[in-house]
């Protein structure tokens, strides 16, 4: 892993630690912290934000296709990642879990990955039935 990706992981880990510190169970104050407020309101609040940020990311990408500022896309993806990290924290997960999953997929084509997931889903539904 390059030092740049290590520092990126460190930045994600630092942000994840801040989010953890804002959890209601850690004493996060909803009146003083946006993250604490979203976590206090529960999944509907932060999941709604993820949907909004995903839509804004799509719109920013479409704008870049028509001469818009690529930095706006970076800004929106940062918002999407940030709110996704709040969801991860709520469910007891960390950015490292996502990185591990991406590393697991490394070297596997998306087509192979999708076919494998379909086969696993089919097998699981057959075992239930």
Residues 15-27 have pLDDT tens digits of 999 999 999 999 9
Residue 72 pLDDT level (bands cut at 50, 70, 90): very high
Query: Quick one: three-class SS letters along the chain?
Result: CCHHHHHHHHHHHHHHHHHHHCCHHHCCCCCCCHHHHHHHHCHHHHHHHHHHHHHHHHHHHHHHHCCCCHHHHHHHHHHHHHHHHHHHHHCCCCHHHHHHHHHHHCCCCHHHHHHHHHHHHHHHHHHHC
pLDDT of 118 reads: 82
Residue 5 pLDDT level (bands cut at 50, 70, 90): low
pLDDT of 123 reads: 83
Confidence (pTM): 0.79
Q: How far is CA 97 from CA 76, 77, 88, 102, 108, in A?
A: 22, 19, 9, 9, 18
pLDDT of 6 reads: 67
**pLDDT tens, position by position, 29-64:** 999 999 999 999 999 999 999 999 999 999 999 999
């Amino acid at each position: 892993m390059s030092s740049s990706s290590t520092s990126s992981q460190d930045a994600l880990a630092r942000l994840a630690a801040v989010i953890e510190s804002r959890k209601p169970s850690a004493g996060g104050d909803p009146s003083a912290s946006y993250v604490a407020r979203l976590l206090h309101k529960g999944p509907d609040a932060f999941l709604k934000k993820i949907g909004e940020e995903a839509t804004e990311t799509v719109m920013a990408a479409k704008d870049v296709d028509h001469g818009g500022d690529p930095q706006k896309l970076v800004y929106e993806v940062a918002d999407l990642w940030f709110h996704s990290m709040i969801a991860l924290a709520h469910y007891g997960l960390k950015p490292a879990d996502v990185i591990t999953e991406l590393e697991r997929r490394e070297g596997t084509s998306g087509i192979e990955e999708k076919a494998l997931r379909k086969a696993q889903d089919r097998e699981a539904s057959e075992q239930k039935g």
